[in-house]
Amino acid sequence: MNYESMRIAVVTGGGHGIGRATCRRLAADGKRVVVVDIEEDAAQSVAAELGGSARTVNVGDEQAILDLVAGVESDEGPIDLFVSNAGVGFGDADGEAASKGGGIGSVDDRWEACWRINVMAHVFAARALVPRMRERGGGYFVNVASAAGLLSQIGDAAYSATKHAAVAFAESLAITHGEDGIGVSVVCPQAVATRMIGIEDDSESFDGGFGGNDVDGILRPEVVADCIVDSVRGQRFLVLPHPQVATYVERKASDHDRWIAGMQRFRQKLSDS
């Protein structure tokens, strides 16, 4: 299915950040946008701005995704594009990769939340939609993972592990369902100016500067939204809004030990600064 003929798009985590920018870009391109978020007010405000509809859903709950898909398709029509963008990360609160403590709530609850929201939400969306898309000859999934799904997020083992799983699931989806006319893109940015990295929700005033592990610069969410639309238009699987990531992936594949040593040095540099 080509981008121009797509009519209805669902975006999870559409209330803020990358999801909200994607909703805006899709609406500007004439799509009917369904804004999905766990935060009801955020979803409603984006939907009101764009003349779309809002649904309050926890994407980590399979029944809620089944109800979302069934509800949108019966009220508004077939979903052509499903953007699984909602995601969470909590950090290794005490600095240990296999930590058993620290942070908010129990560490197992944080792993479980990463697993359900960063991975299973993508599986739930595919389970709900693949049979419908196959029957009507196609559709498209955009799964927002992270560069942490190809490399590693220093200081967040659960985020890194689950984003790797998200990339692997997107590969399986693309390999298995290409012949059903189903397209898949997986989005792997480094830092983006959103609440997830502690930049408040007004990327308009973001000046590009920020400390931390933003070696290749922090992108505005609008740039990522444009990359998402370009990848759907071009039917490209791997979306790298920071092009440097392609080089890092090549280096990692060519010499894993050297790459680990480089990451160890980088981690040390971050903890010194």
Ligand X SMILES: NC(=O)c1ccc[n+]([C@@H]2O[C@H](COP(=O)([O-])OP(=O)(O)OC[C@H]3O[C@@H](n4cnc5c(N)ncnc54)[C@H](O)[C@@H]3O)[C@@H](O)[C@H]2O)c1
Contact residues for ligand X, defined by CB under 6 A: 12-13, 15-19, 37-39, 42, 57-60, 85-88, 117, 144, 146, 189, 191-192, 194-197
Q: Which is nearer to ligand X, 16 or 31 (CB)?
A: 16
Distance in Å, CB of 92 to ligand X, minimum: 16
Q: Which is nearer to ligand X, 8 or 166 (CB)?
A: 166
Q: Which is nearer to ligand X, 18 or 129 (CB)?
A: 18
Amino acid at 154: I
Distance in Å, CB of 88 to ligand X, minimum: 5
Distance in Å, CB of 134 to ligand X, minimum: 26
Distance in Å, CB of 5 to ligand X, minimum: 26
Q: Which is nearer to ligand X, 56 or 138 (CB)?
A: 56
Cα 110 from Cα 107, distance rounded (Å): 5
Distance in Å, CB of 258 to ligand X, minimum: 24
Cα 98 from Cα 133, distance rounded (Å): 40
C-alpha distance from residue 118 to each of 9, 14, 66, 86, 146 (Å): 20, 15, 17, 7, 10
Distance in Å, CB of 114 to ligand X, minimum: 9
Q: Which is nearer to ligand X, 13 or 139 (CB)?
A: 13
Q: Which is nearer to ligand X, 6 or 65 (CB)?
A: 65
